[in-house]
Amino acid sequence: PKHAVTFIDNHDTGSSQNHWPFPGDKVLIGYAYILTHPGIPCIFWDHIMDWGDEHRRRITELLKARRDSGIPVDAPVRIECAEQDLYLAEIGSPPGLRVALGPRHIGDPGGSYWKAGPAGNCWRVWVHRAEREQNADEAARAAEVARKAEEL
C-alpha cells in the first residue's frame, strides 16, 4: 500500500460529472478511513473547498491527526473488529492512530495511551498521546491521590 494513492472521489467520476459519485453522506467516513490508513491519501478539491466549513474543518482535523501521529505510507494495520456495524483498527507500530467506523458505539479505550481525536457521524479517531502528555497525566493523577490521602 505504500505506493497506493487513495481517494474517495475525483473530477472524472464524482461530484461535478456525477457518473459514480461517492455517497455524500459517507464522505467524511471515507476520509476517516483513507486519512488514517496506509497509502498516499488524496483529497478531492470539491470536498474541502466547496462542501462548506464543517467538511473543511473535519478533513483538516483528520489531516492533523495523521501528521501528528507520524503515520507513514506503509504503516501496519491491526484490525481489532470487522463486522457489519463496526470496523475498529489501530494503525502504526507502535500504534499512532485508532479508528472506529460504523454505527456501533464503542467507549473510549481508556488509559493514558490514547486521547480523543476527530469524530463525526459513525466515525471516531483516537490519537496516541505523546510521552510527555502521558507523564503529565500520570503526575496529575498521583498528585490527586496524594491530595485525597492528606484529606483522610
DSSP class per residue in 68-136: HHT--TT--EEEEEEETTEEEEEETTTT-EEEEESSS------TTTEEEEEEETTEEEEEEPPHHHHHH
Domain containing residue 99: 5-151
Q: Rounded to an integer, what distance in angstroms lies between the CA atom of residue 69 and that of residue 66? A: 5
- Predicted pLDDT at 46: 80
Structure confidence by residue, pLDDT tens digits, 32-83? 999 999 999 888 878 777 777 888 999 999 999 999 998 999 999 999 999 9
Q: What is the total count of domains within the chain? A: 1
Among 82, 81, 70, 56, which residue's Cα sits nearest to residue 128?
A: 70
- Predicted pLDDT at 47: 74
CATH of the domain at 22: 2.60.40.1180
Structure confidence by residue, pLDDT tens digits, 2-28? 788 887 776 777 666 676 777 778 889
- What does the pLDDT average to over 93-121? 90
